[in-house]
Structures are given as structure tokens and as C-alpha cells.
Amino acid sequence: MDTYTVSDHCALLWEVSSEQSTGREHRKTKTIGWKISAFDLEVFMVALNSEPISDGNAKNMAKYLMKRITEACDTAMPRKRAVIRLSSMHWWNEDIRNLRKKCLKARRTAQRCRKRPNYEEVVAV
């Protein structure tokens, strides 16, 4: 940068653009379902058998049956929550990932050793 600012500080320049950001984006997964581990068979059966199945044509009966099964599942177990995943930043790479992993490992080691008598020796390494 060759801009003279008559200041002891460096000038900061930035561009404003109307284009969409290339930064992190939230990606929502569209999972529909229930937590099977919390399934309660008795509650499910009571909810499913609470009303008699009505007569009708095949299309309407299929819709009605799916609605009843969905309601019974909602009663018998909680729904799964949608997972929001962040996409990687454009500057993130394998080298940074390895350095971060190494740094976090050293930090955990230092935190665990803080109360030991040889703490200074461990931190120096």
C-alpha cells in the first residue's frame, strides 16, 4: 500500500461489495424423524389404537394412516433436532488443522499439570 496518511498508524482499507459473502454458511440438514432410543412401545400402541380407522378410498386411507402413525410417533418419542453445520472458511486448510490439534493438546497437558510440583518443567517443554 502506497497511501500516505500523515499518521504514525497504518491505514486500513476494505472493499464493500454487494455480492454474497463467501464466509461461513449455515447448512441445515432436513432430517425428519424421531429419537428411537427414547421409544415407548406402550404409549405408541395406545396412541395408535385411540380411534378406529375410518372407511374411505385407498388414497384417503393412506393419508389418514400416515397421519395417525406420525401422531403416535410424536406421542411415543421426541423428534430429532435439525443439525446446523457450518461450512469451512475458505482459508482453513490441513496445516492449520494440524497446528490447532497440536496446540490444543499442549494446552490440555499444561492445564492438567498446573497443580503438579514440576509444572514449570512441563510447560518449558
For 4-30, what is each residue's pLDDT tens digit?
A: 777 777 777 767 766 766 555 555 556
Q: Is residue 7 assigned to a domain?
A: no
Q: How many CB atoms lie within 10 A of CB 110?
A: 13
Question: Is the same domain home to 95 and 81?
Answer: no
Q: Is the pLDDT of residue 60 over 60?
A: yes
Q: Residue 79 belongs to what domain range?
A: 26-87
The pTM score is: 0.43
**Rounded CA separation 53/33 (Å):** 24
**Rounded CA separation 118/112 (Å):** 12
SS3 at position 45 = helix
Last residue of a domain, one of 57, 72, 87: 87
- Total domains present in the chain: 2
Residue 9 confidence (pLDDT):
79
For 79-124, what is each residue's pLDDT tens digit?
A: 988 777 778 888 889 999 999 999 999 899 888 888 888 777 766 6
Question: Is the same domain home to 80 and 123?
Answer: no
Question: Is the same domain home to 100 and 71?
Answer: no
